[in-house]
Every structure is written in structure tokens, then in C-alpha cells.
Amino acid sequence: MGLFDKFKSLLFGKGDVSEGTQDEKPVASKQEPVASKQEEPVSAKHEAPVTKAEPADMKVEQKPIIQKPKEEKPVADKITVGHVHMSGCTGCLVSLADNYEGLLTILDKYADLVYCLTLADVRHIPEMDVALVEGSVCLNDECSMEEILETRERAKIVVALGGCACYGNTTRFCRGGQQNQPQHEAFLPIGDLIKVDVYIPACAPTPQQIRNVCLMAYLLLKGNDEQKALATAYLTPLMNLAAAGTEACGCDLMTEVINQGLCCGCGSCAAACTVRAITMQYGRPQVERDLCIKCGACYAQCPRSFFSFDVCGQYESITNLIGEVMKP
Amino acid sequence: MEYLGQYKAVYKAKAGCEDILSKAQDGGIVTAMFAYALEAGIIDGAIVAGPGDEAYKPEPMIATTVEELFAARGTKYSISPNMALIKEATRSYGLDKIGIVGTPCQIQAVRKAQLYPIGMRDVPDKIALALGIFCMENFPYQGLYQMVEDHCATKIDNVTKMDIGKGKFSVYTERGVNAQIPLKVTHKYEQPGCHVCLDYVANMADISTGSVGTPDGWSTVFVRSAAGEAAFNKAVDAGWIIAESMDGVKPGLELVTKLATEKITKNQKYIEHRAHAEYEALKPLRNPYI
């Protein structure tokens, strides 16, 4: 629920978000007159605490990034997104880029990419609305440790992008036949170090899933009430995944689905598995443990891991909406 | 009404082609729809429950021709993990427009895969036609085998058709109805996952169909989405499907509504029961619905 509070603060302090990377002073001076105009007729007493509290908050948050000269934004109300690279193979970033022209649409209309090793020339992690974190954190690397903590401090929403960030994936000991290495204990899913808000499991996460999360984050932060409700409903299961922990395995199908009497034998898990570790036998998944890379895709894709009638029941309108907003 | 989901129209319908009807479960709607959609280029291929290595053990298959489609005619009352092929259909088979038939839970899986394509890269926009079939419950193959061989005392290899209707599970051989057992007897063979299912008539399909509500040889058809409506109307115009109004049809929607309500209220109760609120020592079973 802490996340919701964050969203709320984002929404109420709208100027604070969209102009977060702009000059701080105009924002503060803009807000003061608005506040005083509203408050004056009622009572002069209310004015003082309100105006005092808000600028103070904003100054603290925005100081580190104010110095930069500002580029002109074609669309005022974009969210800011960053890609933070921990110990991963860059496959997740490639997946983001694999939205092809869709990525351009997202960057044109909905999100500014403020931090990204290969696509944005920014050295230090800036303030941002959404941080997409790829890869696990190497404890033996001080820089990684600092960066992941900084990411949590400076991003409103932290998204664990891909199997490594969510569950460790191939950076940990997960594959039969893999050599034992002393470093396995050194690679931690980011959720072991910081609080993560949203999970996008799978290796690699799909371009479409990343796109959907970016669009929903945009709707959540900038949309009208109806859109916010939709985005909240959409993101809730992914937030629940983040809250559920940092361990995943094909075994989850057994412990959390079949042994819970939930499996309906649809085969989604087998289709979702990137390493073809799952075959369907007599209507149940058969997981080849030696192939499983523990990316979490099978369980997250299962219609009985989570299923929202509110969201999936509107599949037609949501699909149309996504199609509509992704038009260049 | 709400148990039947959103729909644009409901029909009593059957296939217009004798070839399909001769081996169809009821009205042959699924085969006829896919056959027309293949011919008309609405889909490039369809994921259907094809014949497996044992009699009446379905195996999902991708049909790209009408002949292949015909091999999969008729209902097999066991689990066919059709979703397992959905990604493969876009890869090895290179399909851009996929048709898929499935039980309500499988259609839910289709929609989840479209909205949450966590492990379904490039799949969401390639699903062109999802046909849902009415479903009360499903049986693991061993359960079905037991029902046929043991309870019905019929060799499963000799079975020409199985059917569930009017409270009975019937097994046909070439001599006609060979054995019937009350559905009550079959309940213990149902797969447990069916008992938490809150969908009877595939509410999220483009078109859903089943025998309940219409006379023998016909199917009840709900046309739900815009894509479903367009495809169905064209199939009717092209003569692949004969559709008539549901007005005044004998058991009609009343029976469909009754069965849907029964299934869903029973399962809702079961989901509550799974919370084990009355036993402190028992861990609640997980509720997948949020």
C-alpha cells in the first residue's frame, strides 16, 4: 500500500512530477499563488502550513538533478523512465528495444528515457518515475550495491525487469550440469536488497509485457480516474508477484498450482517456458529440472497463478486501447 | 445474464456441410467456423484437440488445412493443453493469425496471455479467433478411461462417440448407445482444477458454443466480440453455418442460464470452502482470483 501513497503524492503534486527535471523555482512560485488563491477566501490561516510544507518537500527531492539545462519537451505530461543495468545480459534491454517503432511512440508520447546505459548519455542515476532494473546485484561489486540503493531512493516505482532482477535466474545456481562456483551466493535478486514495486518475470521479458507496464504506469501517473483504476487493476498482480518473494522455479507449478488443486491443464506454462523445460503429459506440466533457469515465467503466465476478471474481462477494450495509443 | 457473459447475439446453429455434421459432436460449429476461417484467410491455422496416441486421448495439434481440421472433429472429454502450442504456432508454423479452440479456462488463459504476455513474446496480436466451448468439468485421461472401461464396461478402442447430456454420460459404439451412467458417478473423476472455475460458457471467447439449450444436432452459439461477430456473420453468409434465432427454441437459454448458475454458485461456494475458515490448523488453499 506504500506504493499507492506514492502514486497519490505523485498525482496530487503533478507539477512536481512532470517538471521534476526542470528548474525548481518556477514550480514553487507557480504553486504558491494557486494555493493562496484557493485558500484566501476561506481562511488565511490555512495558507501558511500548506505553502510551507510543499516547497520544502520538493526541494529535498529535487536538489541532485536541478543543475542540468533543460531540453524542450514536445509533450508536457510524460513520465520519466530509466533502465538500470545490474548483472544481466542486456537481453531485457534488447527486449525493450524490440518494441521497434512502438518504442519510439512510447518515447515520443508517454515516457522520457532519462537513464539507460546504451541509449541515454547519463552517467549517474537521476530522479525518475519508473526505474526498470535489469539483472541481479553482485555483492562483490561496490558500485552495483550503491547503484541499486540509489535507484530505490531516486525512483518512485522500481520495476524488476526480467528473471535475474526478480529471481536471480541464470546468475544463480539454477541449471543442472552447471559448474559449481563460489560466486553463486554473491548474486542477489534486487528484491533481496531493496523494496521492489512491480515484477516483470521471464527470460527475456517480452517486449509486449514491458510496453504494457510502461503504458499502464503512464495511465496511473497521468491518466484520468477511470484510467488510473484500470492501471491499478492491471498492475496489482505484478505488484503481488513482487511482494511474494525472490524465489521462483518450475516447481512453483507443482507447489502453488497443482498441489493447490488449481491446475486446469491449459498448457500456458509450457508455452511460456523459454528453455522448453516444460512438456504437458496427461494434461499436467512435466518440468525438466535440469533445464529450468528459474525465470518465473511459467508460474506468472498460469491463468491460475493470478487471474483478474476485471482486467481480462475487458480484454477487447484494453487491447483496442493499447492499439490506439501505440499509433505513431 | 451475468453468468452468460457479454454477447452480441445468440443463435441456434449448425454446420452447413454434411461432411462436418457426420462426425460432429453436435452442430459442428467449431469445425465449420475454423474451416471457413481457414478458407477465407481469417486464420492461417487453428490449434485444436487432435487425436492422440490412445483412443480418445486428445493431443493438441495445429491444423493448417481443412483435412487436418476434420481429423479433430468431435468432443474428447479429456485434457488437451491447447495453450501449450500457442507460441509454437507463431514460431515453427509461422502463423500470423491463429485460431484456437478451448474450454473456458483455456480461453481465460488466452486472454491472460494477451494482456499479460509474460512468457508469450509476439503472441498477443496474433490471436485472430478464439472459440470457446461450454464446459462443466473435464477429466484426466485415466479418469475417462475408468469411466468408459470400468463403469460403462466398454472397450475404449471400440467407442465411436462419447456424450454428456441430460444428466448422463453416454458411450456409443457402432451399434449405437452402448452404455449410460448417471453424471453423479463421474464426479469423482473430474480434475480438481475444474472446481474453482467460474465460467461455464466461455465468457471471454470471440464465439462460444455448446449443445446445451438447443435440440440434438444443433448448437447454441454466443457471438461475443467484434472479431467473432464479423467472422460468424461471414461464415453464415458463405453457407458454412446455418444460424437461426434462439426465440422459442425448446430448452433454450433458460437451461443454459440454469446450468451456468449452478456451476458458478457451486464453485464459488467451493472456493470459499478452500479458505478453511472453520479449521484453524488447516492452511487455506490459494485463491487465484483477484
What is the tens place of the pLDDT at every residue in A68-100? Answer: 555 554 456 899 999 999 999 999 999 999 999
| Beta-carbon contacts of residue B230 (< 8 Å; ≥ 6 apart) | none
Considering the domain architecture, whether residues B64 and B185 belong to the same structural domain is answered as no
CB contact under 8 A, A312 and B111: yes
pLDDT band at A15 (very low <50, low <70, confident <90, very high): very low
Residue B43, in any domain of the structure: yes
On whether both B38 and B123 belong to a single domain, the answer is yes
Q: Are residues B11 and B126 in the same domain?
A: yes
The answer as to whether B87 is a domain residue is yes
Residues of B in contact with A208 (CB under 8 A): 117, 120-125
**Residue B261 three-state SS:** helix
Lowest mean pLDDT among A42-46, A269-273, A284-288, B178-182: A42-46
Residue A268: its chain B contacts at CB < 8 A?
A: 83-84, 86, 109, 112-113
Q: How many CA atoms lie within 13 A of B277 on its CB side?
A: 5
pLDDT of residue A119: 85
**B131 and B93 assigned to the same domain:** yes
pLDDT of residue A300: 97
Residue of A nearest to B87 (CA): A271
- Asked if B33 and B99 sit in the same domain, the reply is yes
Residues above pLDDT 90, as percent of chain B: 92
Q: How many domains does chain B have?
A: 2
Burial grade of A141 (CB within 10 A; 0-12, 13-18, 19 or more): middle
For residue B245, the Cα-to-chain-centroid distance in whole angstroms is: 22
Which of B129, B159, B189 delimits the end of a domain?
A: B189
Contact between residue A93 and residue A85 where contact means Cβ atoms under 8 Å apart: yes
Say whether residue A294 is in contact with chain B using an 8 A CB cutoff.
no
B229 and B111 inside one domain? yes
Return the DSSP state at B285.
Answer: P
Last residue of a domain, one of B168, B189, B210: B189
CATH number at residue B155: 3.10.450.750
- Flag whether pLDDT at A187 surpasses 80: yes
Cβ <8 Å between A264 and B85: no
Given a contact cutoff of 8 angstroms between Cβ atoms, the answer to whether B207 and B224 are in contact is yes
Give the per-residue pLDDT at A5.
53
CA distance A234 to chain B (A): 9
Mutate to test the interface with B, among A298, A315, A317, A321 (most CBs of B within 10 A): A315
B83, B87, B225 ranked by CB distance to A266: nearest: B83
pLDDT tens digits, residue range A148-164?
999 999 999 999 999 99
- When mean pLDDT is compared across A18-27, A129-138, A171-180, the lowest value belongs to A18-27
- Contact check, Cβ <8 Å, B118/A280: no
Neighbours of B157 (CB within 10 A): 10
- The 10s digit of each residue's pLDDT in B78-131 is 999 999 999 999 999 999 999 999 999 999 999 999 999 999 999 999 999 999
Q: What is the pLDDT of residues B232-274, one digit of tens each?
A: 999 999 999 999 999 999 899 999 999 999 999 999 999 999 9
C-alpha span between B89 and B79 (Å, rounded):
19
Res. A110: pLDDT tops 80: yes
**Using CA atoms, how far apart are residues B195 and A31, in angstroms rounded to an integer?**
56
Provide the percentage of residues in chain A whose pLDDT is more than 90: 66
Q: Mean pLDDT check: name the lowest of A8-17, A134-143, B252-261.
A: A8-17
Domain boundary among B123, B158, B189: B189
User: Do residues B89 and B231 both lie within one domain?
Assistant: yes
Stated length of chain A? 328
**Among the four given CATH numbers 3.30.70.20, 3.90.76.10, 3.40.50.12780, 3.40.50.10800, the one describing domain A252-301:** 3.30.70.20
In a domain, B283, yes or no: no
pLDDT in tens, B204-225: 999 999 999 999 999 999 999 9
What integer best gives the mean pLDDT of chain A?
82
pLDDT band at A173, cuts 50/70/90? Answer: confident
Closest CA to A107 of A205, A20, A19, A214: A214
Residue A46 has pLDDT above 70, yes or no: no
- B88 lies in the same domain as B161: no
- The confidence band for A171, taking pLDDT boundaries of 50, 70 and 90, is confident
- Angle (nearest 5°) at CA B282 between B280 and B288: 115
Domain borders along chain A are 23-65, 79-243, 252-301
3-state secondary structure of A261: coil
Both B168 and B183 in one domain: the answer is yes
Q: For A27-41, A94-108, A266-280, A292-306, which range has the lowest pLDDT when averaged over its residues?
A: A27-41
The CATH code of domain A79-243 reads: 3.40.50.700
Q: Is B173 in the same domain as B72?
A: no
Q: Give domain status of residue B130, yes or no.
A: yes
CB atoms within 10 A of CB B164: 17
Interface test with B, best of A262, A263, A298, A324 (most B CBs within 10 A): A262
According to the model, what pLDDT value does residue A328 have?
87
Q: What is the mean pLDDT of residues A275-289?
A: 94
Interface residue of B61, B112, B133 to substitute, partner A, most A CBs within 10 Å: B112
Domain of B79, in residue numbers: 2-137+194-274
Is the pLDDT reported for residue A135 higher than 60?
yes
Q: Which of residues 74-103 of A touch B (CB under 8 A)?
A: 95
Instruction: Say if residue B68's pLDDT is above 90.
Output: yes
Report whether A134 contacts A88 (CB < 8 A): yes
The pLDDT score that the predictor gives to residue B259 is 96
B70/B105 same-domain check: yes
ipTM: 0.95
pLDDT value, residue A93: 95
Q: Are B181 and B220 in a shared domain?
A: no
Q: What is the pLDDT of residue A183?
A: 72
CATH code assigned at B235: 3.40.640
Of A45 and A265, which is predicted with more confidence?
Answer: A265
